[in-house]
C-alpha cells in the first residue's frame, strides 16, 4: 500500500480502489491551489471555507461514517483477499510510471458476481487534496441495511449527510463501465467476463483514454 503515497506525492494519483468481488471502496483525489474547503456530499451541494481544525474534524466524521456503514454489512468470508487498483491523471503521469509494488492492469472495470449497490459516503477538501469516499457492495450483503438496523449513532453522525444508496437498475441489464468507474453513482449487474481484456498497447495510451489502471494483489486473512 505504500506505493499509493508515492503516486499521491507526485500528484499522479486520481482514484484508489480497495475492493474485492463482494465489496469495493473508492477514494478519489483532486489537487487544487484553493484554500481549505470542505464539502460533505449532501442534498444542497454547498462548499464552505473551513479551518484546518474543521478539516480534521470532517475527516474523522467521514471515517466514522465509513466504519459504521461497514458494521452494517454482512461478515466477509474467511478466504477473501484484497485487490487494489490505482487510476491516474494521464496528462501529468509518465506512460511508464509504476509505483512500488504495483504492476500495469489489464482491465479498467471492476466486475461483480450478481448485483452491485453503491453508496456515496462523503467528501473532504483541503488546500492540497480532495478526498471522496464511495462504497460498493454485493446486494445480498445488505440485509442489515434493508432490515433497517442502523444504529442511532449512524443516524446522528450522518444526519446532514446520510450515505446515499443508488437506485438499482433492471437486473437483466449487463453493464461493464470503461470510462465511468463502477462506483460512480451507478448500480448494475456485473458478471465476470469469459476472457480477460487484452492489455492496451502504447499507442492506445496516447489517444483519448482518460484513465489508466494499475493493480496490486495481497492476501487479506484478518
**Closest to 113 in 3D by CA, of 44, 173, 191, 177:** 191
The structural domains of the chain, with segments of one domain joined by +, span 2-109+120-165+201-219
Res 58: pLDDT: 77
Q: For domain 2-109+120-165+201-219, is the CATH number 3.30.900?
A: yes
pTM for this model (two decimals): 0.39
Residues in the chain predicted with pLDDT less than 50, given as ranges, are 35-48, 149-222
Is residue 135 within 8 Å of 66, Cβ to Cβ?
A: yes
Is residue 24 within 8 Å of 92, Cβ to Cβ?
A: no
Q: From the centroid of its chain, how far is CA 221?
A: 21
Residues 6+ apart with CB under 8 A from 129: 8, 29, 30, 31
Res 29: pLDDT: 65
**Closest to 41 in 3D by CA, of 130, 172, 146, 139:** 130
Question: Which alpha helices (DSSP H) does 26-177 contain, by range?
Answer: 52-71, 143-146, 152-157
The dihedral sign for the CA sequence 145, 110, 196, 178: positive
Res 123: pLDDT: 76
The DSSP string of 197-208 is PPPPPHHHHTTT
Amino acid at each position: 500500500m505504500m506505493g499509493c503515497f508515492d503516486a499521491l506525492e507526485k500528484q499522479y494519483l486520481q482514484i484508489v480502489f480497495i475492493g474485492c468481488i463482494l465489496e469495493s471502496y473508492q477514494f478519489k483525489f483532486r489537487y487544487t491551489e484553493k484554500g481549505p474547503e470542505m464539502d460533505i456530499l449532501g442534498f444542497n451541494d454547498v462548499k464552505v471555507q473551513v479551518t484546518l481544525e474543521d478539516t480534521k474534524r470532517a475527516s474523522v466524521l467521514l471515517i466514522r461514517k465509513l466504519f459504521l456503514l461497514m458494521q452494517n454489512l454482512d461478515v466477509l468470508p474467511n478466504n477473501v483477499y484484497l485487490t487494489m487498483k490505482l487510476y491516474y491523471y494521464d496528462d501529468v503521469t509518465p506512460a511508464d510510471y509504476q509505483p512500488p509494488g504495483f504492476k500495469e492492469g489489464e482491465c479498467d472495470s471492476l466486475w461483480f458476481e450478481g448485483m452491485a449497490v453503491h453508496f456515496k459516503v462523503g467528501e473532504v477538501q483541503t488546500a492540497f487534496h480532495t478526498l471522496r469516499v464511495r462504497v460498493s457492495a454485493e446486494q445480498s450483503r445488505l440485509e442489515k441495511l434493508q432490515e433497517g438496523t442502523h444504529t442511532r449513532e449512524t443516524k446522528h453522525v450522518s444526519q446532514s449527510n446520510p450515505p446515499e444508496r443508488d437506485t438499482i437498475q433492471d437486473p437483466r441489464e449487463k453493464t461493464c463501465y470503461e470510462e465511468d468507474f463502477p462506483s460512480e453513482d451507478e448500480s448494475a449487474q456485473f458478471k465476470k467476463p469469459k476472457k480477460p481484456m487484452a492489455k492496451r498497447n502504447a499507442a492506445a495510451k496516447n489517444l483519448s483514454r482518460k484513465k489508466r489502471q494499475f493493480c496490486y494483489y495481497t492476501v487479506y486473512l484478518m
